[in-house]
Amino acid sequence: MAGTILKAKNFNAFFGQNQVLKNINLDIMRNDVVAVMGPSGCGKTTFIRCINRMHELTPDATAEGEILVDDKNVYKMNLIVLRRKIGMVFQRPNPFPTMSIYQNAIAGYLLNGIKLTKSKKDEVVETSLKRVALWDEVKDSLHKKGTFLSGGQQQRLCIARAISLNPEILLLDEPTSALDPISTSKIEELIYELKKNYTIIIVTHNMQQAGRISDKTAFFYLGEVLEYNVTKEIFTNPKHEKTQNYITGHFG
Specify the length of the chain in residues.
Answer: 252
CATH topology of domain 4-247: Rossmann fold (3.40.50)
End-to-end CA distance of the chain: 42
List the domain boundaries for the chain: 4-247
Query: How many whole angstroms from its chain centre is CA 221?
Result: 19
pLDDT of residue 235: 95
Rounded to an integer, the average pLDDT of 22-47 is: 96
Helix (H, G, I), strand (E, B) or coil at 229: strand
What mean pLDDT comes out for the span 91-115?
92
For the entire predicted model, the pTM comes to 0.94
Q: Find out whether 74 and 27 touch, Cβ atoms under 8 Å.
A: no
Give buried/exposed letters for 232-250 (b at 16+ CB in 10 A, else e).
eebbeebeeebbbebbeee
Phi, psi for 10 (deg, rounded to 5): 45, 50
Q: How would you classify the pairing of strands 61-69 and 33-37?
A: unpaired
Round to whole Å and give the CA distance between 189 and 183.
10
Cα-only R_g, the chain: 18
Residues 102 and 125 sit within 8 Å (Cβ to Cβ): yes
Helix locations, the chain, DSSP H = 44-51, 79-85, 101-105, 107-111, 118-131, 135-138, 151-163, 181-194, 207-213, 231-236, 241-247
pLDDT of residue 202: 97
Residue pLDDT, tens place only, 149-190 = 999 999 999 999 999 999 999 999 999 998 999 999 999 999
Region at 115 (left for phi over 0; alpha for psi -120 to 50; beta for the rest): beta
Q: What angle do CA 190, 196, 107 make, to 5 degrees?
A: 60
6-17 confidence digits (pLDDT tens): 999 999 999 999
Residue 112 has pLDDT above 90, yes or no: no
pLDDT over 80 (residue 125): yes
Instruction: Residue 43: name the closest of 21, 76, 69 by CA.
Output: 21
- Tell me the pLDDT band of 251, cut-offs 50, 70 and 90: low
